[in-house]
Every structure is written in C-alpha cells, then in structure tokens.
Amino acid sequence: MAFSLTYSTMFNPPAEMHDRFEAAAAKVRAGLGARHDLFIGGKDVKAASYARVTSPIDTSLVLGEFAEATVADVDTAVAAAKAAAARWRKTPVADRLAIMRRAADIIEERVYEMAAAVALEVGKNRMEALGEVQETADFFRHYADDFEANGGFDRKLPNDPLDGWVSTNRSVMKPHGVWAVIVPFNFPFALAGGPIAAALVTGNTVVHKGAPSTPWSGWMLADCLRDAGLPAGVFNDLGGGSDEVGKALVGHKDVGGVTFTGSHEVGMAIQRQMLAGKFPKPVIAEMGGKNACMVTKHADLERAVLGCSRSAFGLSGQKCSALSRIYVDQVVADDFIARLTKQVESLVVGNPLEKPVYMGPVATKEAYERYKALLAELAASGGKILAGGKLLTEGDFARGFFVAPTLVEAPADHPLFARELFLPILMVARVASNEESMSHINNTPLGLTAGVFGNAAEVDWFLDHVEAGVTYVNRPQGATTGAWPGYQPFGGWKGSGNTGCAIASFYYLPRYMREQSQTVVE
C-alpha cells in the first residue's frame, strides 16, 4: 500500500519525507523575518501596526512581522466578504468545487515548506506539522467531494398530490452569507482550513481570524487560496487579531455565522453573544476537552503505554484531544505505571524540527508560566510526580519554552483531574473497577475524546456508556488523539461542542447553510 500520511501513520514515514522536510526547513529558515500584511478584498492591506512574532523554540528567532488588525479592519473585511457574497453563492457548483480542489493541490505542493513554518510557529514536531498541513489539503478535498456527493444539497421532492395542478417541490440549502472563522493557536493551519473549506464550498464568503501567537499559518493559507483563483473578497484574513478583534467580528451585524474553535469559556461566551441580537445566528463551537483513558485489568499494557504516551505528549499536550487523565485498574496499576513512567522518561524533548525529537516546547510564554504554576500547585496538593516535573533550562533549552513531559499519580479526586491543563502533564489514578473508571470519565462538563484498553466485553460496555464524541479502542497510535478527515469524524459532546455533528462527518456541511423549501405551482 502506498504511504498516505495521517496522524496514525505518521510514526513510520518513508525516509524521503524526512529528506524533503529538511530541505524545506533550511529554505524557510533562510527567508525568515519578512513583513506580512492583512489580506482583504483580494489585496494585501497594510495595517496600523505590526507585531514581531518569535518562535517558541528560540525566542530570539524572529519569524516575521505580522499585521495587527483593528476593529476598523473587521469592518473592511466584512464589507469585502459581503460584497463578494452574491456572486460567490451563484458561482456554478462545478467552478466552486474546482477552486476547492485546486486549493487542496496547492496546499499539498507546498506541504513541506508550510509544515516547516508551522513547526517553527507552534513548536510541533515535524511529523505533526506535516500532518497538520496535509490534513488541511484533505479537508478541502473531503468537503468538495461531500458537497458534490450530496448534489449541492439541492433536492427535488414529490409534487403535491393535487388534481388539475402541477405543484413542484424542492428543498434547497443556501449559505448564510459572510461566515467568520476564529481559530486557536494549536492547529492554526488545519483548524483554519477545515472550517474555511466548509464555509466556502457551501457558498459562504469568509473572514478568518487566527490566534495572536500564530498569524503565519493563516497568512500562508490565504496565499494558497489566492493562488487557487478564489475571487476577490471571498476569503479575507485578519491575521492573528486580538481577542477584541474576534469579539468585534462575532458581533458584526453583517456576519451570518461563526465557526469558533478554542476554549470552552470563550466558546460559551460567543454562543451567548450570537443569541443576543435581533435573531439567533448559527455558531459552530468546537471547544476544550478533559480527555480520559480507561485501562482495565485485561488491557494489553504495551499498547496502552504507547497509546497513552503518544496522546498525552504529542504537541506537548496542547491538543484539544490530548490525553490528560488515566484511570487504571488497581490489579495492573503497578505494572502499567512503572512501564508508563519509563516510557515518559524516554521521550526525546528538543528542537521539534529535528528528526528524533518527539516533544518540542510549549507554544507560548503563558503556557510556560502556567506549567510552572501547576508544578507549585502539585507540590502543595500532594500529587506524586513520577516523571518530569521540571522546566528545561540547560543549553539550547534556555532559548525557548521547554518543559519536561510530566506524569503524576494522585487520587482520582485531585483537582487537576477536573481542569483542562493543555500542557504535557498526565494524571493517573488507580481505581477498583471499570464502573469506577467510567464514573470519573463522565464526571466532567466536557466530552471530547476518550480511550479504552481492555477486552471485547469491556470495550462494548465502554462504548455503550462513555460520554464523548470521539472514541478509540486499544489504539497504540493514540489513546485519544489523531482523528483524520474521512476516517474519524471529530466533534465533542456536552461542553466540548455545540452541534452534535462532528468535523468532516456526513452531517457537517449542512451546518453552514439554511434550508429553503420551494413550492412552485405551474
């Protein structure tokens, strides 16, 4: 079988991928420091100010100067998107699909260079970065295929059973107009590209706002879309605008809908804001997680250790899907915890662009400071640190935000089992039964991903009881992480997501449209 990169295949890529990544990374490094404008109405637009963005790997490495959007830029971008909306909506579906597929091809052509940039900007390792960019290309193709397979969501219904009249009926899904896409720092390419592709293919025009620490990814994506031939105004980029810019975008009277990906708190605030106007507007909110894994007394411990470690420490624990708590049956707990401790101690931390490195820095100074504060909290609250538990400051580590992957054992009622940490800190607790595990797993307002390692009967029972939108069984490639478009629909239950319909699922694209029933009597 030819190699196809996904988050489950990325652990064993062909050697050529490494060579190409290294060549691209050298090229990207040589071109650092450029100034990047906003992209509005099909043009590069100068901003009132520019922020110097540095790499979390080495804070003296200036990646570039990036335009800082203002609330006035929000107005300009929304006006450009509004002006382009009618024409884009009426662009023949075949032409829209062709542009989506061209965008996918262009992203794929640039995958190595853009992945090197993502690795420098976020601090994720080379395979995670390649995965993120490739995933974005796959989102564009997936949504184009899905829109096409559903006939553009335009369906003929039976004529009315009228004698002497011909009364035809149709259900037509129509776009909302201008769609805002607000993105978190951890997947600034894929979590921009996915919703942008969905909004565009369904006929909306888009205003995108990335996270303040990761504006480069959105800028690169804008470049791909421009080169794919998207008409002016159909896609607009506000860079990594501030939270205030995001708030102004959400509250703009001409924004018809929003896809927000980020924390639970901000996602809930945005939903309230979108309900507070004269009429409700749609919000797709993909929010935080507090993802758990159950390791039963029948688990294959070798698989469990690998899957748990990959999901807890990939991207330094900064995935919404990251594993942050394990409940292990007391019968196998000693063995499992000893093996997991050894595995965590063996993880290679360092410059994530280098081949052997599994874990890079945390992405921001804020995350670094929060890790430090959590160590103090753990020391005060009796968590037992089994591995890691320290800032890494020697040699080149001192240049960036490096911390050690950390494993902590504590009783299941320890407060850190309840909060999303979004850091490389994995909590483990011993339990007396699978029922006890499940009660802890479900005892959270969040419900994004969950995993289990156990036998067939335990797995059936787990899947029947667990309150999470994305589940993985006996998966060494990742106990709770690693969904890929077309293979694993990805969306949260409860406080982790508001639609019940996952990203890249059969039910996703209709969220970007509204239905019109059309009855025409001849």
Ligand X SMILES: N[C@@H](CCC=O)C(=O)O
Ligand Y SMILES: NC(=O)c1ccc[n+]([C@@H]2O[C@H](COP(=O)([O-])OP(=O)(O)OC[C@H]3O[C@@H](n4cnc5c(N)ncnc54)[C@H](O)[C@@H]3O)[C@@H](O)[C@H]2O)c1
Catalogue the active-site residues: 286
- When binding is defined by CB under 6 A, the residue of 57, 173, 182, 220 that contacts ligand Y is 182
Size, binding site for ligand Y by CB under 6 A: 30
- 213/321 with CB nearer ligand X: 321
Per DSSP, which regions of 376-512 are E strands? 384-387, 406-409, 425-431, 446-447, 449-453, 470-473, 493-494
274 contacts ligand Y (rule: CB under 6 A): no
Q: Which does 483 bind (CB under 5 to 8 A by kind): ligand Y, ligand X, none?
A: ligand X
- Residue 30's Cβ-count burial label (10 Å; 0-12, 13-18, 19+) is exposed
In the stretch 470-509, what mask flags binding to ligand X with x, by CB under 6 A? -----------xxx------x-------------------
Per DSSP, which regions of 59-211 are E strands? 62-68, 154-157, 167-175, 178-182, 205-209
Cβ neighbours for 216, distance < 8 A, ≥ 6 positions apart: 36, 53, 63, 64, 66, 117, 118, 121, 188
131 contacts ligand X (rule: CB under 6 A): no
In the stretch 411-450, what mask flags binding to ligand X with x, by CB under 6 A? ----------------------------------------
- 268/473 with CB nearer ligand Y: 268
Residues 314, 66, 104, CA angle at the centre, nearest 5°? 60
In this chain, which stretch among 39-47, 135-143, 240-248, 513-521 interacts with ligand Y, using CB under 6 A? 240-248
In this chain, which stretch among 124-132, 198-206, 242-250, 457-465 interacts with ligand Y, using CB under 6 A? 242-250
266 contacts ligand X (rule: CB under 6 A): no
In this chain, which stretch among 114-122, 169-177, 285-293, 387-395 interacts with ligand Y, using CB under 6 A? 285-293
> Restricting to residues 407-426, which ones interact with ligand Y according to CB under 6 A?
420, 422
> Restricting to residues 246-265, which ones interact with ligand Y according to CB under 6 A?
246-247, 250, 261-263
- 236/321 with CB nearer ligand X: 321
- When binding is defined by CB under 6 A, the residue of 319, 339, 440, 475 that contacts ligand X is 319
In SS3 terms, 307-369 reads as: HHHHHHHHHHHCCCCCEEEEEEEHHHHHHHHHHHHHHHHHCCECCCCCCCCCECCCCCHHHHH
Length of the chain (residues)? 522
Q: How far is the CB of 502 from ligand X (least distance, A)?
A: 10
321 contacts ligand X (rule: CB under 6 A): yes
- When binding is defined by CB under 6 A, the residue of 492, 495, 504, 513 that contacts ligand Y is 492
505 contacts ligand Y (rule: CB under 6 A): no
Other residues' Cβ atoms within 10 Å of the Cβ of residue 148: 16
The number of C-alpha atoms within 13 Å of 360 and in the hemisphere containing its C-beta is: 29
Other residues' Cβ atoms within 10 Å of the Cβ of residue 263: 15
- 8/271 with CB nearer ligand X: 8
In this chain, which stretch among 232-240, 314-322, 398-406, 413-421 interacts with ligand X, using CB under 6 A? 314-322
User: If DSSP codes are grouped into helix, strand and coil, which group holds residue 387?
Assistant: strand
Enter the DSSP assignment of 467: -
Alpha helices in 382-517 (DSSP H): 434-442, 456-465
Rounded Cα distance, 50 and 37, in Å: 8
Q: How far is the CB of 502 from ligand Y (least distance, A)?
A: 9
Rounded Cα distance, 228 and 87, in Å: 17
118 contacts ligand X (rule: CB under 6 A): no
Quote the tokens at residue 167.
Answer: 């009364």
185 contacts ligand Y (rule: CB under 6 A): yes
Q: Which does 409 bind (CB under 5 to 8 A by kind): ligand Y, ligand X, none?
A: none
189 contacts ligand X (rule: CB under 6 A): no
402 contacts ligand X (rule: CB under 6 A): no
φ, ψ for residue 429, nearest 5 deg: -135, 150
- Residue 251's Cβ-count burial label (10 Å; 0-12, 13-18, 19+) is middle
Tell me the Cα Rg of the chain.
23
Q: How far is the CB of 419 from ligand Y (least distance, A)?
A: 11
Rounded Cα distance, 506 and 73, in Å: 35
Q: How far is the CB of 148 from ligand Y (least distance, A)?
A: 25
- 314/383 with CB nearer ligand X: 314
Q: Which does 116 bind (CB under 5 to 8 A by kind): ligand Y, ligand X, none?
A: none
Rounded Cα distance, 299 and 459, in Å: 10
- When binding is defined by CB under 6 A, the residue of 123, 177, 194, 288 that contacts ligand Y is 288
Binding site for ligand Y (CB under 6 A): 182-187, 191, 209, 211-212, 243, 246-247, 250, 261-263, 266, 269-270, 286-289, 320, 420, 422, 448, 492, 496
Binding site for ligand X (CB under 6 A): 186-187, 319-321, 481-483, 490
